[in-house]
Structure 1
């Protein structure tokens, strides 16, 4: 989309200015902070003063009385640049909600906690309508009540923070203030299911001259199901039980020295319904007449463990502020498949004179990812250098580890022989085989330099450069230049240009999955092959390398008064050598390679490969105003994101040239180009009078197109707008009661042909999900 085509949208947004707004959550109440995107500490935080677009969302009201009970969904309905849609029928992707910025992949957004890099999950998204082939960060592993604010940097920042910061950066700042509070909440869908219970408590305790904040949370979200009556399938939210505890504190030691720490742990039990198996046509291949004569739905149960630790020491040495920290994060997922069977075991039992049964529960194995990061950061502000300069530099060492653990034998074995009747493995999710098991690690080292200078009272510039070396693919250097110019007290022009990169994740390098199928009357494996294996070598797939990006942005901010503000930013993100998951290659679509694969005992193979260049162009608009209305006060806000991603080229490895349509089909291309709606906007009104506060919020999701299974068929989703309503009563100075509804008009995505959708249902998990209206009530008590 050309920038000129975005201008009418910008002008339309400007005409609303003064009566509408965005980012009312801009944190005017925040104390002195370091805003993500800058190494300089600021006495106040304002999105109209930053060199690049930064939204600052204070999370207090949301945690106390919001309609969403987790962080990902809260940001989904707050930030137009942020996308997170719950998946259904997407195996492991149902258990962990992916989150991304500006319609790019979830692994192209860097997430920080208290300014420190947070680990990604072990899961690779292989199915579902979002983030296919990507890893990401589990936003819902942090309790809402523990969060002070979320800073959303809408600009490339790899030169400042390293890998993954192509689309932008999310910095989650945890609370460490004294005092105690608790929240109890309940919600459910208007259909009567998806019952959601929440209990959370926070307490900040004065300790040793500092504060130790402790947050505990329990969430029990019930399963929802939108399948038609008589349909065996379960189409809706995954059932989730989260048990979470977080500690966050900072303590003075001697002089200017401080010790700080963050400790977090979450255990999640999640359960998602897989595709239904029929009671007649699937016997004996995927079912047993004895066990499930009327058909069944296998359940993919995930035991997810997430751990996070930060320990650091801040001090001042010869006028320089120093920060030495150690961060460790780990994510593990273990699959247990229930209400299932191994059809080959059941068929063998029947052949041997038995009833034709198999176990109904299997440990299918799992995977884990851990990341240990050591940082040493140094900075100092020189008031007399070039009108005032902040110089920062530092070093980082990071070690990552990824492993796959095989499941029990019954979860993957073909007991009756390939092609003999029953399919191998546990239905719903065949277990990882011993050949899939792996244990890999790598390390990286980085040096960076950052200089921000106020050259004149109007002109501020920032330059950053970062050099990074990875043990598995080599070195890369990135740079960034940003600046702002004030035209009077109310108007500021800003712009930035940067290069960036994303290292291939260990999950993309080494994920392996194998199951046996009967292809052309031959028993052959269907393999998702890891990079560097005999299969990828035979296909001529080179070693994965980093994705490279070039980011450009230009914008303006207007703040005519304390209560009114506006920001408008245009951006372009060009990414080279994006890593994608290929289509399946076999004898039918590439005979020469298919012959080689069959010689290796493989019928079909797919793999990760650097093969796509993309360009994303977009517009961000935010505006906010606050005014007296009658006896109360009205806050109005508007936030808008318009973007378009285009695959500009597909460059196959030499051995696969001419087969680009298999490497990246039209359907897979649309998963990249249409990862999120083209337009997303939030228009909200909040009116407060005395002890009462009412809120109305419109969330608009623009059109989105997905590819169908049939060539030449497209699933076109029309623009949809939902409304959230909320009412809060401050019953006493300590007690606050809230109630309301989300998507109160029960809006759903455009109905499609269920034989063409990704989840096999006429409502797919795009734009904002398929569950419809929901209602909630909360009680917040401050001790």
Structure 2
């Protein structure tokens, strides 16, 4: 209808123009607010029915005579009237409150506001993210979105450098991440250590610099029918900056009140724009952080069986009560380069666009300290001859490169908006283990080892078409994707092990048998339809067919609805099915890890899903897709123009979740060797693990958001936000244990592993943010409540421990010196709150013999304590 009216109005004006009364002309431009281009704005020639709306890039084009007045309006923004003054008219509008923010995620054909979207979406601008005082995107989202969680992991090999992140407690694998609406590649890492998200694969959120982002849209609803695999929990879309008024430089630095964890960062964002609407935005950033250390102080070593008062090592224990440990955040250095560019075609008939970037990151974390009574150094490789030998601290070092590039074109075809693009993304990790040795190599052992690495990449082609037909919006398209995963063996010295006691201490190198190059391809087609029979009612539906070369096909669908309560709010609901393809990593990963348990050192083997030992000898089935059912219902409501409330209930059922089993070892009886033990003996390992579809879960929760903005208080304005998430995940039915394991009494997913799904993340999180703007001052207080988490012992409930919920308070004070220079000081965790300490009731492995003061297998918010940061921002 809008298109018809637009053309009708054009014909009418042309007719008048030919009569000699008025001259019609084509007027175009870009409508934006303070954060960038603004889609969905209504543009009408005053006094007529001629109108249009701005597209996804905020652009509009309308026919009007030289004396006409254009009216620009949208819910939550001040209506503006502008007299026509030439062929080009750019307009800046004042932002509305949170419920009126424009979002693109989840809507193929028409931009919508949070108010009239049929599904819950958060829209978070860069300024809001920076007001959390956090250094990286994953941490910013943790302190801004209640249902999002990410925390630093300690002494967990490469996992310490990626920090598993998840949405709605559904694990890292089930959140789809987009950049400018295009799929972001996953990382090359599988989280195989005993941390939240164990056995899963996520996107490396540290690879996207905050300075390059205009805003982040978080869709908290299943969206597989629209976007494909991984979108079971929701979608995070990172929208990059386009046109910027200034070049901006931010410099920041800080440290903990314990005197460690020093950090320093600097970033630059700048842009160029042309009169024809062309743009180039460029971001460069550097960030580094030093380690923190919060170990336990056992003063004895029950893990290895060396106790206080020991005749040989008593003095060493007394002088080293922390057993040499480093437990905390890793060292990190990171360099980012990103760009976002576009060039319109002549007559605004389309646009060529491209964006992407590269992140290079080096990190150092620490393994268990090798005390002198644990591992000797008879050849003086790690200490000087004649000096006292005090053991050594192996380091685990990562070199991560993440790069992505998208290029595409947008144009009109038979009144359809067409978007055709290609995307390539890659994440590569190389591992080094240093300050260590291989006992079996004797005096010839190196002390630095390249122990291998992993690479994951994907290549995609996308074709999307959409059109608004008055009451009906339609969209359809197709995607072709190819994925590659490779594992590289380490240096031979890193896995040399003829006696069974060798390998590089702390992390045996990947062996040639672990090396792999695997790929797969898939294609998908989708259709999306929205119908608005009245101004109040919206009904939507989507369907997607996906076919994978390695396990087959899937059909997902979604229906959604919204009933508008006028300018007060809306009722909304959706039901969808979804799926997640098992990652190539989960299918092909294999390795050997060193474990410390019960006073002995052992090697644990991970067998991949295509290994004949797993598939044929032990009867583990081929991995296949997880499937899901997602229902949500909620309300958004404006109590008054500056006070809005939203509440959404959801339930997500996931069938056949891909899990990483617990340790499966010898059964402990003196009878005959069972098939599992035969595999252990043949491969010189003491336990094994593998990936299998074996668990179904149900997650229920509620999201609440209350925004109260522009409250007059004294001489300033106060903005207040209260946001909360409450969730519960349960395992439904029995665990599907392969027959050979069940017949021999093995439990493949014990109580401890189950707790990683059900209670390793907080079941509740509440955010209360207060932002007081007083002339040039800005005072921010953020309070974040992290609910309790529970660690469960593998077999004995008496050893379980629940860690109480805690409130962390952040204080940020900002000052604007002038239009070009501003600064702030932030105190994160103002009251120096730490998690509950591990108690002594667990077995010796619970805290690794007292080495850990705080829980390491469940983690609410880390344990760095108070961090003080200062920053300066310059515009020119």
Q: TM-score, normalised by structure 1?
A: 0.90
Contact 1:287/1:295, CA 8 A, preserved across alignment: no
Q: In the aligned structure 1, how far is the partner of 2:557 from the partner of 2:578?
A: 7
Q: In the aligned structure 1, how far is the partner of 2:573 from the partner of 2:247?
A: 42
Match of 2:646 in 1: 567
Counterparts of 1:470-549 in structure 2 under 5 Å? 470-514=548-592, 526-537=604-615, 538-549=617-628
Q: In the aligned structure 1, how far is the partner of 2:677 from the partner of 2:248?
A: 65
Q: In the aligned structure 2, how far is the partner of 1:194 from the partner of 1:123?
A: 25
> C-alpha offsets along residues 396-424 of structure 1, whole Å, 9 cap, x if unaligned?
0000000000000111101xx324xxx22
Q: In the aligned structure 2, how far is the partner of 1:50 from the partner of 1:432?
A: 48
The question of 1:776 aligning with 2:869 is answered yes
Which stretch of the first structure deviates more once superposed, 398-407 or 669-678? Answer: 669-678
Match of 1:283 in 2: 376
Match of 2:390 in 1: 294
Match of 1:205 in 2: 272
Contact 1:701/1:721, CA 8 A, preserved across alignment: yes
1:37 is displaced (CA, Å) by 1.4
Q: In the aligned structure 2, how far is the partner of 1:278 from the partner of 1:56?
A: 50
Match of 2:142 in 1: 76
Contact 2:588/2:609, CA 8 A, preserved across alignment: yes
> C-alpha offsets along residues 678-712 of structure 1, whole Å, 9 cap, x if unaligned?
10010011111111110011100011101236632
Which stretch of the first structure deviates more once superposed, 607-616 or 644-653? Answer: 644-653
The question of 1:85 aligning with 2:159 is answered no
Contact 2:249/2:268, CA 8 A, preserved across alignment: yes
| Partner secondary structure for residue 611 of structure 1 | strand
2:446 aligned to which of 359, 368, 372: 359
> C-alpha offsets along residues 89-115 of structure 1, whole Å, 9 cap, x if unaligned?
111100112211011110110000000
Match of 1:12 in 2: none
Contact 2:153/2:159, CA 8 A, preserved across alignment: yes
Match of 2:809 in 1: 723
Match of 2:428 in 1: 332
The question of 1:110 aligning with 2:176 is answered yes
1:401 aligned to which of 458, 463, 484: 484
Residue 698 to residue 516, structure 1, CA distance change in 2 (3 Å):
closer
Match of 1:180 in 2: 247
Q: In the aligned structure 2, how far is the partner of 1:172 from the partner of 1:372?
A: 19
Aligned residue pairs, count: 735
Contact 1:60/1:145, CA 8 A, preserved across alignment: no
Match of 1:225 in 2: 293
Residue 180 to residue 289, structure 1, CA distance change in 2 (3 Å):
closer
Contact 2:722/2:769, CA 8 A, preserved across alignment: yes
Q: In the aligned structure 2, how far is the partner of 1:478 from the partner of 1:517?
A: 41
Contact 1:638/1:683, CA 8 A, preserved across alignment: yes
Contact 2:99/2:115, CA 8 A, preserved across alignment: no
Contact 2:753/2:794, CA 8 A, preserved across alignment: no
Contact 2:286/2:336, CA 8 A, preserved across alignment: yes
Q: In the aligned structure 2, how far is the partner of 1:361 from the partner of 1:540?
A: 39
| Greater length-normalized contact order (CA 8 Å, ≥ 6 residues apart) | 1
Counterparts of 1:579-728 in structure 2 under 5 Å? 579-588=658-667, 591-598=673-680, 600-601=682-683, 603=685, 604-626=687-709, 627-649=711-733, 650-657=735-742, 662-708=747-793, 711-712=796-797, 713-728=799-814
Q: In the aligned structure 1, how far is the partner of 2:808 from the partner of 2:689?
A: 39
1:715 is displaced (CA, Å) by 2.1
2:193 aligned to which of 120, 127, 140: 127
1:32 is displaced (CA, Å) by 9.2
Unaligned 5+ segments in structure 1 are: 1-24, 350-356
Which stretch of the first structure deviates more once superposed, 591-600 or 682-691? Answer: 591-600
1:29 is displaced (CA, Å) by 9.2
Q: In the aligned structure 1, how far is the partner of 2:660 from the partner of 2:413?
A: 49
1:530 is displaced (CA, Å) by 0.5
1:129 is displaced (CA, Å) by 2.3
1:648 is displaced (CA, Å) by 1.1
1:215 is displaced (CA, Å) by 0.2
Contact 1:286/1:427, CA 8 A, preserved across alignment: no
Match of 1:8 in 2: none
> C-alpha offsets along residues 619-663 of structure 1, whole Å, 9 cap, x if unaligned?
100010121111111111000000011111311223333568621
Contact 2:268/2:283, CA 8 A, preserved across alignment: yes
> C-alpha offsets along residues 7-33 of structure 1, whole Å, 9 cap, x if unaligned?
xxxxxxxxxxxxxxxxxx997599995
Contact 2:129/2:144, CA 8 A, preserved across alignment: no
Q: TM-score, normalised by structure 2?
A: 0.81
Residue 30 to residue 265, structure 1, CA distance change in 2 (3 Å):
farther
2:458 aligned to which of 371, 374, 377: 371
The question of 1:97 aligning with 2:163 is answered yes
Which stretch of the first structure deviates more once superposed, 650-659 or 370-379? Answer: 650-659
Match of 1:762 in 2: 853
| Partner secondary structure for residue 674 of structure 2 | helix
Contact 1:424/1:515, CA 8 A, preserved across alignment: no
Match of 1:550 in 2: 629
Contact 1:554/1:570, CA 8 A, preserved across alignment: yes
1:482 is displaced (CA, Å) by 0.6
Match of 1:270 in 2: 363
Q: In the aligned structure 2, how far is the partner of 1:150 from the partner of 1:406?
A: 38
Q: In the aligned structure 2, how far is the partner of 1:761 from the partner of 1:488?
A: 56
| Partner secondary structure for residue 489 of structure 1 | helix
| Partner secondary structure for residue 247 of structure 2 | strand
Residue 756 to residue 326, structure 1, CA distance change in 2 (3 Å):
same
Match of 1:165 in 2: 231
Q: In the aligned structure 2, how far is the partner of 1:706 from the partner of 1:47?
A: 37
